């Protein structure tokens, strides 16, 4: 009995020793990680001011201890985010699909990547992802750092290429070499690439909406219709507010079962039946595919992450498959209780909303639009050819050519197809 914890301790001790004594040369693919040497870093920690209504970006909590926010890192990340040279043919940047001018999404039903390849899912906003514990509709990435390494390698997003190829291409750009050296004290690495982009994304915040101003006592910030919508949604009006409508049932629309908290998301996965056909067959199994074999749960079949509804008017069309074009149609979808299927969430039931109640809900959702913070496009460092690409060119969504096969699909064993 006594030996067990002792052994665990020894394993831990060996692990620690190894980490301390490891030099860069002993780590496989050593240019993919950066081992910071603080004496070589010339960068300033920075405190990002959050807009009204959002929690602070607390270091070591909201922002991971391994990647503190610094001024140089955010600037470097911004350049990488807008740089089409991350893609294999220099045409697509992260901003192609997550364009700050389009609510940090792309206004497409299904996202369109390199060469016009149509992907299987809708592009989610990057806004407020700093507060998300799981990234992607199915939550398969545990951090923004992990997430950012996926798209550059995805054949239908930024092209079929290896991380080594991307890092080699970026390392040939002198301006990136200089910045990586300043910010991380290393050359260009995949780890640094991920950390810089994640840092920039953590500054993409949506707050100070009419709802946030209402919540801090500015009662006129919301119309009476939005206030009724707020009650139906599941939130109480301020007791000090003179407007206290009768005959409006708190939580009649049941939205706060899932879209709650400062970022209006429980960070959980739910099956709303989106994408189910008339026989209840699901087109995309969602979370279930992302779960490790051995810990799969039938509640995850066809379940997707609850997205934030902040800034929601700017990110149409909606749902993981872009199947709902407008907020009005989203409300209709909830009102009918979603599409029946064997795994439908218990929280999806017909709501019996009146036409006025539907309007009130939409008006409440509109009150969650944040203050628009224009993002000035960065000047990109010149490449070995002496040219710096214009980041604006990559903001144009490619013309769709072919529908790519759903990568995370779908008609796998569970549906017996």
Q: What angle do CA 55, 360, 261 make, to 5 degrees?
A: 20
C-beta of 10 vs 307, nearer to ligand HEC: 307
CA distances in angstroms from 214 to 87, 115, 132, 221, listed in the order given: 43, 45, 24, 5
- CB 25 to ligand HEC: min, Å: 28
- CB 246 to ligand HEC: min, Å: 21
Residue with tokens 């996965």: 269
C-beta of 99 vs 242, nearer to ligand HEC: 99
- CB 213 to ligand HEC: min, Å: 20
CA atoms within 13 A of residue 257's CA, in its CB half-sphere: 14
C-beta of 215 vs 306, nearer to ligand HEC: 306
Please choose, from the candidates 85, 77, 79, 122, the residue with its C-alpha nearest in 3D space to the C-alpha of residue 104: 122
First to last CA, the chain: 49
- CB 115 to ligand HEC: min, Å: 10
Return d(Cα 58, Cα 60) in angstroms, integer.
6
C-beta of 212 vs 284, nearer to ligand HEC: 284
C-beta of 12 vs 343, nearer to ligand HEC: 343
Return d(Cα 387, Cα 173) in angstroms, integer.
10
CA distances in angstroms from 124 to 28, 45, 231, listed in the order given: 34, 29, 27
C-beta of 25 vs 143, nearer to ligand HEC: 143
C-beta of 327 vs 410, nearer to ligand HEC: 327
* Residues whose CB is less than 8 angstroms from the CB of residue 385 and which lie 6 or more positions away in sequence, other chains included: none
Query: Given the rule CB under 6 A, which residues bind ligand HEC?
Result: 81, 86, 92, 94, 96-98, 111, 113, 119, 121, 123-124, 126, 129, 132, 135-138, 144, 147-148, 151-152, 157-158, 197, 201, 253-255, 257-259, 270, 272, 274, 304, 306-307, 309, 312, 315, 318-320, 327, 330, 334, 345, 347-348, 361, 365
- CB 354 to ligand HEC: min, Å: 14
Please choose, from the candidates 122, 118, 87, the residue with its C-alpha nearest in 3D space to the C-alpha of residue 103: 122
Residue with tokens 């009918």: 336
C-beta of 231 vs 361, nearer to ligand HEC: 361
Return d(Cα 260, Cα 70) in angstroms, integer.
30
C-beta of 136 vs 184, nearer to ligand HEC: 136
Residue 146 burial class via C-beta count within 10 angstroms: exposed 0-12, middle 13-18, buried 19 and up: middle
- CB 323 to ligand HEC: min, Å: 8
Return d(Cα 100, Cα 95) in angstroms, integer.
7
- CB 7 to ligand HEC: min, Å: 39
Question: 219: how many CB neighbours lie within 10 A of its CB?
Answer: 15
The answer to whether the beta carbons of residues 351 and 345 sit under 8 Å apart is no
- CB 216 to ligand HEC: min, Å: 23
- CB 346 to ligand HEC: min, Å: 8
Return d(Cα 268, Cα 261) in angstroms, integer.
12
C-beta of 242 vs 355, nearer to ligand HEC: 355
Return d(Cα 142, Cα 66) in angstroms, integer.
14
The answer to whether the beta carbons of residues 290 and 358 sit under 8 Å apart is no
- CB 13 to ligand HEC: min, Å: 37
């Amino acid at each position: 009995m006594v030996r067990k914890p002792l052994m665990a301790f020894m394993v831990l001790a060996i692990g620690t020793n190894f980490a301390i004594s490891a030099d860069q040369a002993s780590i496989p693919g050593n240019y993919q990680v950066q081992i910071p040497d603080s004496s070589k870093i010339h960068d300033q920690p920075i405190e990002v001011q959050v807009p009204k209504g959002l929690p602070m970006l607390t270091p070591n909590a909201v922002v991971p201890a391994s990647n503190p926010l610094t001024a140089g890192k955010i600037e470097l990340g911004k350049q990488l985010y807008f740089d089409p040279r991350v893609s294999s043919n220099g045409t697509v940047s992260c901003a192609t699909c997550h364009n700050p001018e389009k609510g940090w999404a792309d206004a497409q039903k299904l996202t369109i990547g390199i060469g016009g390849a149509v992907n299987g899912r809708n592009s989610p906003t990057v806004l407020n992802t700093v507060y998300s514990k799981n990234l992607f509709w199915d939550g398969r990435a545990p951090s923004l750092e992990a997430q950012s390494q996926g798209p550059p390698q995805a054949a239908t997003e930024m092209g079929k290429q290896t991380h080594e190829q991307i890092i080699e291409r970026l390392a040939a750009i002198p301006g990136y070499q200089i910045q990586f050296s300043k910010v991380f004290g290393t050359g260009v690495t995949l780890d640094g690439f991920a950390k810089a982009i994640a840092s920039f994304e953590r500054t993409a915040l949506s707050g100070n909406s009419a709802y946030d101003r209402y919540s801090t006592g500015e009662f006129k910030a919301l119309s009476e219709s939005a206030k009724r919508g707020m009650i139906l949604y599941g939130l109480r009006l301020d007791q000090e507010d003179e407007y206290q409508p009768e005959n409006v049932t708190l939580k009649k629309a049941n939205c706060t079962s899932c879209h709650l908290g400062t970022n209006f998301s429980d960070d959980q996965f739910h099956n709303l039946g989106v994408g189910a056909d008339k026989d209840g067959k699901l087109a995309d199994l969602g979370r279930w595919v992302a779960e490790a074999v051995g810990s799969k749960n039938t509640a995850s079949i066809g379940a997707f992450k609850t997205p934030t509804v902040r800034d929601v008017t700017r990110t149409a069309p909606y749902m993981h498959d872009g199947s709902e074009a407008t907020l009005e149609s989203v409300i209709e979808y909830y009102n009918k209780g979603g599409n029946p299927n064997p795994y439908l969430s218990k929280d999806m039931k017909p709501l019996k909303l009146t036409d006025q109640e539907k309007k009130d809900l939409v008006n409440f959702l509109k009150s969650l639009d944040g203050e628009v913070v224009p993002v000035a496009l960065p000047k990109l460092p010149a490449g070995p050819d002496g040219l710096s690409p214009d980041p604006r060119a990559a903001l144009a969504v490619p013309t769709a050519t072919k529908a790519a096969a759903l990568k995370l699909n779908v008609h796998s064993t569970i549906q017996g197809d």
